[in-house]
Amino acid sequence: QSALTQPASVSGSPGQSITISCTGTSSDVGNYNLVSWYQQHPDKAPKLMIYEGSKRPSGVSNRFSGSKSGNTASLTISGLQAEDEADYYCCSYAGSSTWVFGGGTKLTVL
């Protein structure tokens, strides 16, 4: 159960697009279409942004999208807004009823 690998930080200007990667292994990300992405603002509980790899919960902006290639999942945020500045975490099913999170990525909107 090793943590998934995310970049520590990414940044972008308002209106731009950014992509956050989440690299796992063939035992987790690569083997299941069960990757979720969460947004967490300071002192707040995480909020689900993407589930099952690319599905958006009701109420989440269509500026957020998810994809996967091999052992790497990605979250793309288009049309960056100031309110998108937060920490983002990926999470993948890892088999045998276990799950694993990424280390988190701090998004800064310049």
Partner 1 sequence: EVQLVESGGGLVQPGRSLRLSCAASGFTFDDYAMHWVRQTPGKGLEWVSGINWNSGNIGYADSVKGRFTISRDSAKNSLYLQMDSLRAEDTALYYCAKDTHYDSSGPDYWGQGTLVTVSS
Kindly list the residues in this chain that would bind partner 1 in the complex (CB under 8 A).
Answer: 1, 3, 34-36, 38, 40, 45-48, 51-52, 57, 89, 91, 93, 96-104
Nearest to 12 by CA among 70, 75, 62: 75
How far apart (Å, rounded) are the C-alpha atoms in residues 65 and 18?
11
Residue 13 or 42: the one with the smaller Cβ distance to partner 1 is: 42
A 10 A CB-CB count for 89 gives 22
Residue 13 or 96: the one with the smaller Cβ distance to partner 1 is: 96
- Shortest gap between Cβ of 80 and partner 1 (angstroms)? 22
Residue 16 or 98: the one with the smaller Cβ distance to partner 1 is: 98
- Shortest gap between Cβ of 110 and partner 1 (angstroms)? 23
Both structure tokens of 69: 């290639």
Both structure tokens of 33: 């279409």
- Shortest gap between Cβ of 15 and partner 1 (angstroms)? 29
How far apart (Å, rounded) are the C-alpha atoms in residues 52 and 47?
15
Residues 6+ apart with CB under 8 A from 96: none
Residue 13 or 58: the one with the smaller Cβ distance to partner 1 is: 58
- Shortest gap between Cβ of 46 and partner 1 (angstroms)? 5
